[in-house]
Amino acid sequence: MLWSKLFIPTLREIPAEAEVPSHQLLLRAGYIRQLAAGIYSYLFLAQRSLLKIQQIVRQEMDAIGAQEVLLPALHPAEIWQESGRWDIMAENMFRLKDRFQRDLCLGMTHEEIAAVLARGELRSYKQLPQIWYQIQTKFRDEARPKSGLLRVRQFLMKDSYSFDLDQAGLDIAYEKHYQAYRRIFNRCGLEYMAVEALSGAMGGSQSHEFMVASEAGEDSVVFCQACGYSANLQKAVSQPALPSIDDPPGDLKPEPFHTPGRKTISEVAGFTALPETSQMKSLVLMADGKPVLVLLRGDHQLSEPKFAAISGDPEFRPAHPEEIREYFGASAGSLGPVGIKNMTILADRALAGRHNMIAGANRDDYHLRNVTLGEDFEAELHDLRQVAPRDECLHCGRELEIRKAMEIGHIFKLGYKYSESMGLRVLNAEGKEIPPIMGSYGIGIERILSAAIELYHDRDGMILPPAIAPFSVVVTPANNADAAQMSAAHDIYTKCLALGLDALLDDRDERPGVKFKDADLIGVPYRITVGKKLAGGLVELVERKTRKTTDVAAAEAAASVVQLIS
């Protein structure tokens, strides 16, 4: 295509609202424009790149036998009420009414719709397994859209749904997706990790997230360089770093002492001259309307997802001050497990085997020393803590690393949640009605582009992997006034097209500097510069990523690019 005819509105300056690199560059390079918070128009370059990504996704989904469909984006409320998610999705779902005042919503995901389609059509085990996928616009009324295309209210998702006769079948569908996702992200040129993840509001048993390490990400991943263990911080497990000092020996009895005004762990640690690892942290949470006392080592943080899973109440909340006073007779800051009989006590495993620790005395401004789990009080032991820096890998002992990351894909073994709630049934070989088992698998299309930009850019612009760049090569005559250069550039451009390259001819009547800057900005992987060396029959082949420049014969230029890309 001829650049002079295209609408590629590049900006010299960074729009004030853009913070993260991908957002800044998408705006500057003329890929996107904002319509409202979390809602963007995709201009020519973005659309071109997104179509390439979608094509890769399609090819790999087709390769595992998945069938492309297109489900509605507009859903009647009843479907979501059946699964119970009409309420669960709360404010995150866009809702509207039709002219008859019937409730509708815009689809934020499609488990329900896929299940409804399946229950109307699937009758026999002979029709299984099935994998249906679509690439479609999703709508989510995010509390806080941010970071350009990273968290938006309308976006493209490849989502697929598998239906199998039994667990073994689901395992196969899951593994197929896992491998297909690896191929997709590899082909898109991304460096990524597949990590263990929580299922969240999706429900289900097993789940992996595909993550790209980036400071712009909103998640944290924990991983082990030695054995390859990796998990979302929400789910990760670890061996905690040892306490800073040994516990006092002996079987000592709890003993109250005055701690005026010392409420936080660090205040009590300072006051007692004992490290935070010697303190017992007491949290009071309300789960299913009942109080639960949670105990952690002083330096540890509660993992809210783990507590939600253990308590069975995803809607749990911290107890209010009045409730704490009612149950403990003291305020937060002086709470502890000794003498507490009126509620469940959960203790983190890091407290097992510890002796003579410091805990609140359930009397304002008093704490107890010499508190020992199993002797002075009883508690259920669970993994309740969030992995912290310096923790060790549970599998191999190596120190774990924690990094910020962005999610680009997520796969779930759903189990029977939707088949049962939505009444999906097929006859098995024995003629008995059974619910199929489901899986659900998603890829954020725009996030692949955003992640690639976050990973690969420099101060001049994007450095897109060739597979997802809007163009593979740009042919740039340095001087439009030079008829020989222009004509040679045209020839090379035509040859590129003939060889199947996505080529762009920068025929704009601009100074060479402008053309070079723009080419760098929009991230075209290769540039063929037709300039003064043409007199000697040579042109320059420049690799965007390395800036490496090679002189090649004008007649060979197009073929050289083909060679580099394949």
Residues in touch with RNA (CB under 7 A): 10-17, 19-20, 23, 28, 34, 36-38, 92, 108-109, 138, 140, 142-147, 151, 157, 199-202, 218-219, 304, 314, 410, 412, 440, 442, 444, 460, 478-482, 509-514, 516-521, 529-533, 540, 542, 547, 549
CB of 514 vs RNA, minimal distance in Å: 4
> Of 82 and 247, which CB lies nearer to RNA in the complex structure?
82
> Of 454 and 520, which CB lies nearer to RNA in the complex structure?
520
CB of 235 vs RNA, minimal distance in Å: 12
CB of 131 vs RNA, minimal distance in Å: 17
CB of 410 vs RNA, minimal distance in Å: 7
CB of 144 vs RNA, minimal distance in Å: 4
CB of 126 vs RNA, minimal distance in Å: 30
> Of 259 and 386, which CB lies nearer to RNA in the complex structure?
386
Cα–Cα distances (Å) from 104 to 74, 81, 155, 429, in that order, read: 7, 11, 19, 39
HEC states along 123-153?
A: CEHHHCCEEEEEEEEEECCCCCCECCCCECC
> Of 6 and 394, which CB lies nearer to RNA in the complex structure?
6
Amino acid at 41: S
Structure letter (DSSP) for residue 2: B
Cβ–Cβ < 8 Å for 52, 390: no
> Of 40 and 377, which CB lies nearer to RNA in the complex structure?
40
Q: How far apart are CA 495 and CA 559, in angstroms?
A: 8
Token pair, residue 471, equals 């163009």
> Of 31 and 516, which CB lies nearer to RNA in the complex structure?
516
> Of 97 and 511, which CB lies nearer to RNA in the complex structure?
511
> Of 383 and 482, which CB lies nearer to RNA in the complex structure?
482
Q: How far apart are CA 427 and CA 125, in angstroms?
A: 6
CB of 229 vs RNA, minimal distance in Å: 22
> Of 3 and 125, which CB lies nearer to RNA in the complex structure?
3
The DSSP-derived string for 258-277 is E-TT--SHHHHHHHHT--GG
> Of 391 and 540, which CB lies nearer to RNA in the complex structure?
540
CB of 466 vs RNA, minimal distance in Å: 18
> Of 145 and 435, which CB lies nearer to RNA in the complex structure?
145
CB of 257 vs RNA, minimal distance in Å: 33
Q: In what order do the strands lie in the sheet with 103-106?
A: 74-76, 103-106, 95-97
CA neighbours closer than 13 Å in the CB half-sphere of residue 211? 28
> Of 308 and 368, which CB lies nearer to RNA in the complex structure?
308
Cα–Cα distances (Å) from 43 to 31, 151, 217, 502, in that order, read: 5, 18, 24, 17
Q: What burial class does residue 375 get, using C-beta atoms within 10 Å of its C-beta: 0-12 exposed, 13-18 middle, 19+ buried?
A: middle
CB of 112 vs RNA, minimal distance in Å: 12
Residue 364 has a CB neighbour count (10 Å cut-off) of: 16
Instruction: Look at residue 40 and give its three-state secondary structure.
Output: strand
Cα–Cα distances (Å) from 247 to 241, 265, 346, 371, 432, in that order, read: 15, 17, 21, 11, 61
| H/E run at residue 159 | strand 154-164
> Of 254 and 409, which CB lies nearer to RNA in the complex structure?
409
Q: How far apart are CA 46 and CA 50, in angstroms?
A: 6
CB of 392 vs RNA, minimal distance in Å: 25
Instruction: Look at residue 231 and give its three-state secondary structure.
Output: strand
Beta bridge partners of residue 157, listed in sequence order: 136, 444
Cβ–Cβ < 8 Å for 125, 113: no
Instruction: Look at residue 436 and give its three-state secondary structure.
Output: coil
| H/E run at residue 450 | helix 445-455
189: region left, alpha or beta (phi > 0 left; psi from -120 to 50 alpha)? left
Beta bridge partners of residue 137, listed in sequence order: 156
CB of 2 vs RNA, minimal distance in Å: 15
CB of 282 vs RNA, minimal distance in Å: 19
